[in-house]
Amino acid sequence: MTSSKFALLLFLCLLQFFEGFLTSALMMSSLVKPGIFRHLMCRNNMYPRSSVLRFPVSDEQVFWSEPYPDYCPPEYTSPHIGGQVWADPPLNSEVFKPQWNQLDGQVNRKSFHGSYKLRDGLPLNPIGRTGLSGRGSLGRWGPNHAADPIVTRWKRNEQGALEANPATGKNILQMVAIQRSDNKLWAIPGGMVDPGENVSVTLKREFTEEALNFTDKANMVEQFFREGGVQVYQGYVDDFRNTDNAWMETTALNFHDEDGSQVGQLELLAGDDATNVRWTDVDSGLKLHANHADIVREVVIRLNAHW
Ligand code: RP5
């Protein structure tokens, strides 16, 4: 091979590498960018399952870079997380020596938004103030990692033909949504990633538990998930449980049943901490838990569906 051909080949390889890198970096930052994105669900309300009122935080006061001298959030860590295997031990415990911003044994304390700061020895929410310090009901100080499977199919009429929206002319997408038992909101059937667990395992488990109530069609589900989902988001979740020192982050993948012949055929049955499950039409009126609707929107763009 001549040196000019070799240089061209090298150039093309590098181009491909950086294209992949850029795509995932853009995907990660397109929805939630610290310093631009302002969380909403974890501000100015009563902390879930408690009588603790969050300290007021206006839009202008969210970012840590904005001065807020009177900021004095109450401290709250829910008693029910004490002693749980999925939760960090108390801060003053002898056994708790957290390695922030890194893989701490099996516990992933890294954020998808880069290195988070520490204040008074505790991780600081990368988006900003929430009006509450402590851990709330989240198990981990800092990032609490979840995984969200967005299972989709095209909406069809009784004859099996695709249904398009008359205004946009685009096909209507449907997703599997569950109703959460804690806040009664509809949501992607996601769940927490266990320490050391591969996200692909979490995605399959949570979907099977929450949307199929441990179906006997396990092999088909296994195959459907094995064929691979497409990652549509990785980062902060505007979850109502977030605090100044503990917050949710997720990895969301789309599993699309193009011809509706696989998971699209399964009978849905709510299980675990879901009280309801259904195929939901996806459009701009979609209201979901946290910022799940924004995450689903990424799938809409990917599949060029109606919104
Ligand atoms: C959300 O909460 C995540 O996006 C995920 O859907 C879910 C995980 O928490 P649990 O459902 O396990 O409470 O923030």
Q: Pick from 237, 249, 295, 296 the residue to mutate for probing ligand 1's pocket: most ligand atoms within 8 Å of its CB.
A: 237
pLDDT attached to residue 183? 87
Domain boundaries defined on the chain: 1-30, 146-303
Residues of the chain with pLDDT under 50: 13-29
Please give the pLDDT value at position 30: 67
pLDDT computed for residue 1 by the predictor: 56
Distance in angstroms (rounded) separating the CA atoms of residues 43 and 83:
28
Name all residues whose Cβ lies below 6 A of ligand 1.
146, 148, 187-188, 190-192, 237, 239, 248, 250, 290
Indicate the angle between helix axes 3-31 and 292-303, nearest 10 degrees.
140
**Atom 11, ligand 1: which residue's CA is nearest?**
191
* Closest by CA position to 244, among listed 4, 49, 35, 63: 63
C-alpha of residue 57 to centroid of ligand 1, in Å: 24
Neighbours of 201 (CB within 10 A): 13
CA pair distance 133, 122, nearest whole angstrom: 10
CB distance 195 to 107 below 8 Å: yes
Distances (CA, A) of 139 to 17, 132, 247, 299: 37, 15, 10, 29
The pLDDT score that the predictor gives to residue 272 is 78
Burial (CB < 10 A; 0-12, 13-18, 19+), residue 278, is middle
Dist. CA 282 → ligand 1 center (Å): 20
Measured N-to-C along each axis, helices 199-212 and 218-226 cross at an angle, to the nearest 10 degrees, of 140
pLDDT at 269: 73
Site to probe by mutation for ligand 1, drawn from 182, 188, 205 as the one with most ligand atoms within 8 Å of Cβ, is 188
Distance in Å, CA 90 to ligand 1 centroid: 23
pTM across the whole model? 0.88
The kind and range of the H/E element at 254 are strand 246-257
Distance 19 CA to ligand 1 centre (A): 31
Cβ within 8 Å of residue 57, ≥6 positions away: 43, 44, 68, 71, 128, 129, 130, 131
- Domain formed by 146-303, architecture: Alpha-Beta Complex (3.90)
pLDDT tens digits for range 235-292: 999 999 999 999 999 999 999 999 998 887 787 778 878 788 999 999 999 999 999 9
Question: Which DSSP state fits 106?
Answer: T
